[in-house]
Chain A
Amino acid sequence: MNCLICDKQIEVEITWTTLFNLKQQPPICRTCTNQFAKISTPTCEYCGRDDKQTCTDCARWQKRDLMTMNRSVYRYNEFLKETITRFKYRGDYALVEAFADVFADGVKNCFPTIPAETKLVPIPLSDERLRSRAFNQAEALASLLPYQTVSVLKRTTGEKQAKKNRRARLAMENPFELSAETVPASVIIIDDIYTTGATIHHAAKILQDAGCEQIVSFTLAR
């Protein structure tokens, strides 16, 4: 099998622990795995980053008391940036498998006490964007997790977040609206990247207003 990212042959290592391992071999090679920077212990209890002590954004978010915390698997480094670009803008859907193990393990480790009936809410794309990309990267990531995904949000405006600067993002009006009549009591919002947290908190706001009691978010990159 070849690596999903670099396309080189994956060196299989059979040792005592992997001899009768039922898990499939991870579809990315060790060299590529090592280029991702995994977040082991977050320094910011709120947004889950591990490279900075104080986040001014987080203090503000916390005051609004929309959700408990965000957690992420990897730091948003150059390598991950390239991989996500390939995944989401160039339509390499198969790359989602590269994150299967870490994403599923991550949610288990970050939220050990979360109730089993928790639902996943992937950040939706606008219809127009979904047509051009063919898939929603947040939904793809949510499909890796052992929880049910619900579709309760809808995007009203189709503007691209990545094209905006920080100020514009924070000042933006809420781009989401509720698309279902009821919301689950406990949810995990799923997205690919947590940058300023604006998108996720917009979504959280809608969910909280609709009566959601416990909201956390989980992203691939921070």
Chain B
Amino acid sequence: MRGKGYFLVISLLVGYYLANQLILSFAIALVWLVVLLIYYQRKRLELIECLVLVGLTLFFSQHFILDQFDRLEELGNDVVISGKVTAITKQSDQQTTFILRDSASKQLIQINQFLSSSVPLRVGARCQVTGEMNFPTNATNPGQFDFQSYLADQGIDYQINLNQSNQLQCTGTNLAGRLNHLRDQQMNRLDQRMSETSASWIKSLIFGDRSELDDQVQDLFERWHLTHLLAISGLHVSIIVAILHFICIYLCRLTKETTYQLLITFLLIYPILAGGAPSIWRAALVTICNYLAWYQRDRIISIDFLSLAFVLLLFLKPEWINHLGFQFSFLISFSLLLSKKILIQLKTKFAQMVFISLLCMVMIIPIQVNAFYLFNPISFIINLVVTFYFSSFFIPLIFFGYLVSLLFPPLLVLIEFLIELSNQLFITLIQFVDTYLYYPIVTGKLSPLIITLYYLCLFYLLVQFEKRQFNKVISSFILLIMIIVTNQITPYLSPYGKVTVLDLGQANSLIIELPHRKAVVIYDVGATLANDYTTPTDRAYQQIIKPFLYQAGINKIDAVILSHEDHDHLGSLPYLLEDFTVQTVITSAYFEWPELLLNPLKTGLIEHQRVKAGESFSIGSHDFYSLNPSRDWRNTNDNSLVIETRFADQSWLLTGDISAHVEETIVKNNPQLAIDTLVVAHHGSATSTSQLFLTQIAPNQAIIPVGRNNFFNHPSEIVLNRLTDQGLKIYRTDQDGAIQFIFHKNQRGGTFSTHLP
């Protein structure tokens, strides 16, 4: 198989396709079989090699079926589970999350312990858990991170939440657990001896624990696609190995053999000490292979080793195939190795670094974009500088700092000073860049077709680059950009429009995307409160509103209409204004900015329009009619800006939080008013949606934006009965998740769909 290791990788991926029965998986498997036959016939592969490859595909087509255990029958209160701790995924003062393998069913279960654990938990411990077993939370909105399928991708279908310490009893540990314990000890020691900043950097760059690194810093790293520097990977391993190599050979005067034996042992243990992320296992395994090859006096074919590491890791941890870090790590390693010839041709060190930085960016764009819906095109320049800075200065400094803390503690003051200083300078610089140069391209979700075309084009480009056919490189680069542009203009070409009522819990937001993306209009951007019912949070915005807009490829909003001043209708506005360009904010004539929420329009960049009943306004040549407030009701709820508008000849009424007497005034002033879709006022409270109003406007369907198990017991039974009696189709965000209405610009009517089945 010499030099043919990458065929294993392809075989394995075909197996993955078969296991998940993705689109065209059988066609892909068939094509793979034909390709193997052709290779066999052309004598590129021998018969035995073909058989191994087919066998591998078949094996992994079973191996990747993650959920192959018995279903647990019990789901509910006081389930008793006993098993072994396989991993600890989160450990902080407030929460410990770990994975338990049930000894009876072999099922993996996530345990969330919401209290500061008195006894530290160890991997490999046998535990008995008593508690309520349920399903992890699933996504109820498009674009929202789906925790349930995220865990299901790792073979975890259930979770148990623990609030009392007597619910959990654990004993024992194993080797991995002991190594983890050593890691914890080392990290605790760092906390005691060093300043917070220095300790947090050493912990992230040597022990792979990012939890104490400043959130703001992590956010900056993510925005500039620099997170790979925080994930321990080939770069870190090569630096650490180089330093250890130097120490063994030049300072301790050991032989090469002894040094390599020591390093191999170190590389088998270090991944566990460093948190065990896929990227570090990849780097460690490939480095070990290189040393073993040296023993065999064999020439090195790195791509074979990388392929072996890929197959081995997925054999041991099939769930890693869905792991973003794993995907990035291998995709980049493979493409760098394949670019060897290009890099040699590029002669100057600088050209090579620019090429690597650019290659890394374009290689991962599709994966990056499908996880975050955007990418930062100039990040590759920053990456170039920061990667250079990290690899030549910062990581060695951190490692040196750790060694000093072990060997000559008195010197620590100096090291700490250096770390703090360089950290300060670095963060200032990145913040500066972030303020002036952050222009992300919001792409939305990419279709499989676009992704396939993108990678085909990129492959062709790299082949031509290697052949030094620069004309073809330029034309394929233009084609590559065209593919992205095509994706970007798709919404502008689509004759379909969309109205989405998001499920934010007990808060409202309705998002209108007009056909041909003539305008994006948002009616209300609510926010929810923390568990204490008083502290406002950005949860609804960060987890639902922003991802929704990004996945739809939206970064500019033509108008935000705010019904009234309540937090559950405008609480997310400040965050929205930070990330998106908003042209106009439209409110009722009597709207007053709540004190807590500083007037975000002060800057003057955003137009503020006040509207009264009887007035109309037009956005993207789409008309909106205001039906309230006809006068100042001296009550914020009643002063809600009520909007009537038509999509595909269907009229919609957006009501804010108006109460029954306002509704009656509306129908009195507009006797002809007939509505197809009513967005029910005030989360279905009994004080609104009166019978008179319903009879008069005679809607066909009602949408109730309302939170699950909300404090107010919304929606009220009375209102629900009224709606049912009238024969309405009722959609509720607490039961259906986000509700979407899709319509064609030239057709009457459209289709409703709900995010939850």
Complexed CA–CA distance, A123 and B299 (Å): 42
B303 at the interface (CB under 8 A from A): yes
Interface segment, one of B161-169, B189-197, B201-209, B333-341: B333-341
Q: How far is the CA of A142 from the CA of B694 in the complex (A)?
A: 93
Residues 12-67 of A contacting B (Cβ, < 8 Å):
12-17, 19, 21-25
CA distance A23 to B342 in the complex (A): 21
Q: Verify if A11 is at the interface (C-beta below 8 Å from B).
A: yes
Any A CB within 8 A of the CB of B6: yes
Query: Is A22 a contact partner of B38 (Cβ separation < 8 A)?
Result: yes
* Chain A positions 101 through 145: 1 when the CB is less than 8 Å from some CB of chain B, otherwise 0: 000000000000000000000000000000000000000000000
Whether A19 contacts B2 by the Cβ 8 Å rule is no
Tell me whether A14 and B303 are in contact in the complex, defined as CB-CB below 8 angstroms, given that A1-B2, A25-B3 are known contacts: yes
A12 and B337 CA atoms in complex are apart in Å by 13
Q: Which of A19, A21, A24, A25 contacts B338 (CB 8 A)?
A: A19
A24 to B38, CA, bound (A): 12
Mark out the residues of chain B between 269 and 300 whose CB falls within 8 Å of any chain A CB in the assembled complex.
298-299
With A22-B39, A24-B44 as given contacts, are A16 and B3 in contact (CB-CB < 8 Å)? no
How far in angstroms is the closest Cβ of chain A from B170? 48
Interface size class of B (residues with CB under 8 A): 20 to 34
Is B463 part of the binding interface, using a Cβ–Cβ cutoff of 8 Å?
yes
Q: Which of B298, B301, B337, B338 has the most CB of A within 10 A?
A: B338
Indicate if the CB atoms of A12 and B340 lie closer than 8 Å. Answer: no
In the complex the two chains form, what is the Cα distance from A15 to B341 in whole Å? 7
Is B470 an interface position by the 8 A CB rule?
Answer: no
Question: CB distance A16 to B39 under 8 Å?
Answer: no
Max chain B C-beta neighbours (<10 A), residue from A12, A14, A17, A25: A14
**In the bound complex, do residue B42 and residue A12 qualify as a contact, i.e. CB atoms below 8 Å apart?**
no
> Does A179 have its Cβ within 8 Å of any Cβ on chain B?
no
Q: Are A12 and B3 neighbours in the complex by a CB distance under 8 Å?
A: yes
Closest A residue to B462 by beta carbon equals: A16
Q: Determine if A16 and B301 form an interchain contact, defined as CB atoms under 8 angstroms apart.
A: no
Q: Taking A9-B299, A24-B42, A24-B43 as contacts, is the C-beta distance between A19 and B340 under 8 angstroms? A: no
Q: Which of B658-699 contact A (CB under 8 A)?
A: none
- Cβ-defined contact, A17 with B466, below 8 A: yes
A residues near B147, Cβ cutoff 8 Å? none
Chain A residues with CB below 8 A from B303, complex form = 14
A15/B43 in contact, CB under 8 A:
no
> Could you tell me the distance in whole angstroms from the C-beta of B404 to the nearest C-beta in chain A?
42
The reply to whether B338 and A15 contact each other, CB–CB distance below 8 Å, is: yes
Cβ contacts under 8 Å, B459 to chain A: 16
A9 nearest CB neighbor, chain B only: B299
Q: Which residues of A contact B38 (CB under 8 A)?
A: 22
CA of A23 to CA of B39, assembled, Å: 9
Distance (whole angstroms) from the CB of B167 to the closest CB of chain A: 54
- Establish whether residues B2 and A12, one from each chain, have CB atoms under 8 Å apart when the complex forms: yes
B708 at the interface (CB under 8 A from A): no
Query: With A22-B39, A22-B42, A24-B43 known to touch, is A13 a contact of B2 (CB < 8 Å)?
Result: no
B44 and A22 contact, CB distance less than 8 A: yes
B40 to chain A, nearest CB (A): 11
Is the Cβ of B43 less than 8 Å from the Cβ of A16? no
In the complex, B467 has a CB within 8 A of chain A: yes
Cα A14 to Cα B341 with chains together (Å): 9
Question: Which A residues lie within 8 Å of B301 (CB)?
Answer: 11-12, 14
Q: State in angstroms the CA–CA spacing of A16 and B340 once bound together.
A: 9
Asked if residues B339 and A15 are in contact (CB atoms below 8 Å), the reply is yes
Give bound CA distance, A189 to B459, whole Å: 42
A4 CB to nearest chain B CB (Å): 15
> CA separation between A128 and B313, bound complex, in Å?
63
Q: Report the bound CA distance from A11 to B465 in whole Å.
A: 22
Tell me the complex Cα distance, A16–B341, Å: 9
Contact A16 B42 (CB under 8 A): no
* Distance between Cα atoms of A173 and B271 in the complex (Å): 80
Using Cβ atoms and an 8 Å threshold, which residues of chain A touch B3?
A: 12-14, 25
Report how far A24 CA is from B337 CA in the complex, Å. 21
Residue from the list A12, A13, A17 in contact with B463, Cβ < 8 A? A17
A62 to nearest B CB, angstroms?
Answer: 38
- Which chain A residues lie closer than 8 Å to B339 at the CB level? 15-16
A11 to B2, CA, bound (A): 9
Q: In whole Å, how far is B85's beta carbon from the nearest beta carbon of chain A?
A: 41
- A192 to B486: give the CA distance in the assembly, Å: 57
- Output the least CB separation between A15 and chain B (Å): 4
A21 to B43, CA, bound (A): 12
The residues of B that contact A25 with a CB separation of less than 8 Å are 3
Bound Cα distance A13, B340 (Å): 9
Q: How far is the CB of B136 from chain A (nearest CB, A)?
A: 40
Q: Name the one of B6, B39, B43, B465 contacting A14, with C-beta atoms under 8 angstroms.
A: B6
Q: A22-B42, A24-B43, A25-B3 are in contact. Are A15 and B340 (CB under 8 A)?
A: yes
In the bound complex, residues from chain A placing their C-beta under 8 Å from that of B43 are 24
Give the distance in Å from the alpha carbon of A13 to the alpha carbon of B339 in the complex: 11
Pairwise interchain contact B299-A19, C-beta atoms closer than 8 A: no
Q: Mark B231-250, 1 if CB is under 8 A from A, else 0.
A: 00000000000000000000
In the bound complex, how far is the Cα of B6 from the Cα of A15, in angstroms? 11
The complex places the Cα of A19 from the Cα of B337 at a distance, in Å, of 11
- Top 4 A-B pairs, shortest CB-CB distance: A12-B3, A16-B462, A15-B341, A16-B463
For the complex with contacts A9-B298, A12-B2, A16-B462, 17 further pairs of A-B residues with Cβ separation under 8 Å are A11-B299, A12-B3, A12-B301, A13-B3, A13-B341, A14-B6, A14-B301, A15-B338, A16-B338, A16-B339, A16-B341, A16-B466, A17-B463, A22-B38, A22-B42, A23-B42, A24-B42
22 residue pairs from A and B, CB less than 8 Å apart: A1-B2, A9-B298, A11-B299, A12-B3, A13-B3, A15-B339, A15-B340, A15-B341, A16-B338, A16-B339, A16-B462, A16-B463, A16-B466, A17-B463, A19-B6, A21-B44, A22-B39, A22-B42, A23-B42, A24-B43, A24-B44, A25-B3
